[in-house]
């Protein structure tokens, strides 16, 4: 039986850092800053915090409860508590892992390349104009393959020796770099303008529905929710872990890194007068403006740029590991494959699936929307209904390892009512938008 031989984390710290590693990634540094720029700064930040607190945290705890309680990968965990009828939802989670990692790794490849360029020679003055070359075609594909290779190498080693060890070393490094960069950014002339753009609410945007929708999508993406990544990591936990504490620690660290990353990006952009470029915010904004800023900073830019992209690569890597692990653990549990077989096969398939994203950033952007708007938000809706209504006594399962927590009944109530209602409402608007984006992609194709 899978449970008897199941791998486990060697320490609590290892699990929490690996889960934070999953949460903290391109979402915090790339997606968060471009969405904040697009959606009126603080207005977006406020909604994002609200959704994280009221919706993200309950769903995160739900995933941890399902994973730890069942000691199984997503498909089996759902069947364990809900019967075979729930297996298809698990299959959707695995599909989401495939889809998200396929383009996530392409973007991670851009960051890997920029990190190496900064380290080796510094950014050339015309770096902004060359983004198209970096972001597409064989260049993008090559770095996507390289990044997938590293991810596959780590996941193949296993939960303790690969995933946990990587997180124990890399996550503290990432925190130090990001905080250091924020301190450095605060000393730049023009930092103040960057802060006020970032943190002053554009009240006209506060009432925009699209801000709420983007904030919801971002909260789910950033916390790695709605596709079983957190569930899978929790399935390697012993039953004495204090899940509410772990939930709050993971959520806090995730929000903190996103917030501090904004304190790096906005001052830098304003110090170098590049704000117009961010206004025309797209998927590539960060990858156009930041290297340009580093190029203009000369020798300092080389150091700062190397650190900035190193932090992005580290964040992306620990997140990619968790995405791949969803697929790998499902193949190990469900198909009886060895870890090496599962990792290689899944990794190779995902690498191929990334080809369209590597050749076309519009395709990448639309897949990102599909992943977020449909898979993660839809997955979150299904998970909240599952734990709120289908699972017997989720509170007892959550309480294992704790003395019982006063807000557990509130948690269950949220999962039964407010969370699914909110997510259904968001989906109601997000689905047509996503289908329109897909249609747009086909109609604009040559």
Q: Which chain residues interact with ligand PHE by CB under 6 A?
A: 22-23, 25-28, 100, 221-222, 224, 227, 229, 319, 322-323
Q: How far is the CB of 370 from ligand PHE (least distance, A)?
A: 13
Q: How far is the CB of 18 from ligand PHE (least distance, A)?
A: 12
Q: Which is nearer to ligand PHE, 317 or 414 (CB)?
A: 317
Q: Which is nearer to ligand PHE, 27 or 347 (CB)?
A: 27
Cα 312 to Cα 304: distance, rounded to the nearest angstrom: 12
H or E segment and range at residue 36: helix 32-38
Q: How far is the CB of 156 from ligand PHE (least distance, A)?
A: 18
Q: How far is the CB of 121 from ligand PHE (least distance, A)?
A: 28
Cβ neighbors of 402 (< 8 A, separation 6 or more) are: 242, 243, 244, 245
Q: How far is the CB of 30 from ligand PHE (least distance, A)?
A: 8
Cα 299 to Cα 369: distance, rounded to the nearest angstrom: 37
Of the candidates 436, 419, 391, the residue with the CA atom closest to the CA atom of residue 53: 419
Q: How far is the CB of 227 from ligand PHE (least distance, A)?
A: 6
Q: Would you state the structure tokens that stand for residue 41, as one six-digit string?
A: 């700064």
Cβ neighbors of 87 (< 8 A, separation 6 or more) are: 75, 78, 79
CA dist 78 → 65, 66, 322, 364 (Å): 11, 8, 19, 30
Q: How far is the CB of 34 from ligand PHE (least distance, A)?
A: 13
Q: Which is nearer to ligand PHE, 68 or 302 (CB)?
A: 68
3-state secondary structure of 305: helix
Cα 43 to Cα 63: distance, rounded to the nearest angstrom: 29
DSSP letter, residue 85: G
Q: Which is nearer to ligand PHE, 23 or 211 (CB)?
A: 23
Q: How far is the CB of 272 from ligand PHE (least distance, A)?
A: 25
Q: Using CB positions, name the residue nearest to ligand PHE.
A: 27
Q: Which is nearer to ligand PHE, 227 or 381 (CB)?
A: 227
Q: Which is nearer to ligand PHE, 100 or 364 (CB)?
A: 100
Q: Which is nearer to ligand PHE, 322 or 351 (CB)?
A: 322
Q: Which is nearer to ligand PHE, 22 or 434 (CB)?
A: 22
Cα 286 to Cα 33: distance, rounded to the nearest angstrom: 8
Phi first, then psi: give them for residue 397, nearest 5 degrees.
-65, -40
* Angular region, 236: left φ>0, alpha ψ -120 to 50, beta rest: alpha
Q: How far is the CB of 36 from ligand PHE (least distance, A)?
A: 14
Cβ neighbors of 52 (< 8 A, separation 6 or more) are: 219, 222, 223, 251, 254, 255
CA dist 127 → 132, 259, 296 (Å): 10, 27, 10
Q: How far is the CB of 194 from ligand PHE (least distance, A)?
A: 22
Q: Which is nearer to ligand PHE, 35 or 237 (CB)?
A: 35
Cα 280 to Cα 282: distance, rounded to the nearest angstrom: 6
Q: Interhelix angle for 298-335 vs 285-296, to 10°? A: 150
Q: Which is nearer to ligand PHE, 295 or 366 (CB)?
A: 366
Q: How far is the CB of 276 from ligand PHE (least distance, A)?
A: 27
Q: Would you state the structure tokens that stand for residue 86, as one six-digit string?
A: 């729930």
* Angular region, 305: left φ>0, alpha ψ -120 to 50, beta rest: alpha
| Runs of H (alpha helix) within 272-388 | 275-279, 285-296, 298-335, 339-353, 355-359, 361-369, 377-385
Q: Which is nearer to ligand PHE, 227 or 255 (CB)?
A: 227
């Amino acid at each position: 039986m899978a449970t008897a031989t199941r791998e486990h984390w060697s320490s609590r710290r290892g699990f929490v850092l690996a889960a934070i590693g999953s949460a903290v990634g391109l979402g915090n540094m790339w997606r968060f800053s471009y969405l904040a720029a697009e959606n009126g700064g603080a207005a977006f930040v406020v909604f994002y915090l609200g959704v994280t607190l009221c919706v993200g945290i309950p769903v995160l705890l739900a995933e941890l409860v399902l994973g730890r309680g069942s000691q199984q990968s997503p498909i089996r965990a759902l069947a364990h508590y809900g019967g075979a009828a729930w297996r298809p939802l698990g299959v959707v989670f695995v599909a989401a892992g495939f889809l998200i990692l396929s383009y996530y790794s392409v973007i991670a490849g851009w960051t890997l390349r920029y990190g190496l360029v900064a380290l080796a020679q510094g950014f050339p003055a015309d770096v902004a104009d060359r983004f198209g070359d970096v972001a597409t075609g064989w260049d993008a594909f090559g770095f996507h393959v390289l990044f997938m290779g590293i991810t596959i190498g780590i996941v193949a080693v296993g939960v303790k020796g690969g995933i946990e060890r990587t997180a124990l070393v890399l996550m503290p490094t990432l925190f130090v770099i990001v905080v250091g960069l924020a301190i450095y950014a605060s000393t730049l002339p023009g930092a103040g303008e960057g802060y006020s753009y970032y943190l002053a609410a554009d009240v006209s945007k506060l009432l925009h529905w699209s801000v709420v929708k983007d904030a919801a999508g971002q909260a789910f993406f950033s916390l790695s929710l709605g596709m079983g990544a957190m569930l899978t990591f929790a399935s390697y936990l012993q039953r004495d872990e204090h899940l509410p504490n772990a939930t709050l620690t993971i959520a806090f660290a995730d929000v903190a890194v996103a917030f501090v990353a904004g304190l790096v990006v906005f001052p830098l952009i304003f110090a170098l007068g590049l704000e117009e470029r961010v206004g025309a915010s797209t998927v590539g904004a960060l990858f156009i403006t930041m290297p340009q800023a580093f190029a203009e900073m000369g020798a300092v830019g080389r150091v700062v740029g190397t650190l900035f992209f190193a932090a992005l690569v580290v964040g992306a890597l620990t997140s990619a590991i968790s995405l791949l692990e969803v697929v790998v653990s499902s193949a190990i549990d469900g198909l009886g494959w060895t870890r090496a077989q599962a990792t290689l096969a899944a990794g190779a398939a995902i690498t191929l699936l990334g080809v369209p994203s590597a050749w076309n950033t519009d395709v990448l952007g639309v897949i990102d929307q599909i992943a977020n708007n449909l898979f993660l938000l839809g997955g979150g809706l299904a998970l909240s209904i599952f734990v709120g209504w289908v699972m017997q006594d989720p509170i007892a399962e959550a309480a294992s390892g704790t003395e019982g927590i006063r807000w557990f009944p509130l948690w269950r109530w949220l999962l039964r009512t407010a969370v699914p209602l909110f997510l259904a409402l968001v989906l109601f608007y997000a689905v047509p938008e996503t289908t329109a984006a897909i249609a747009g992609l086909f109609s604009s194709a040559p």
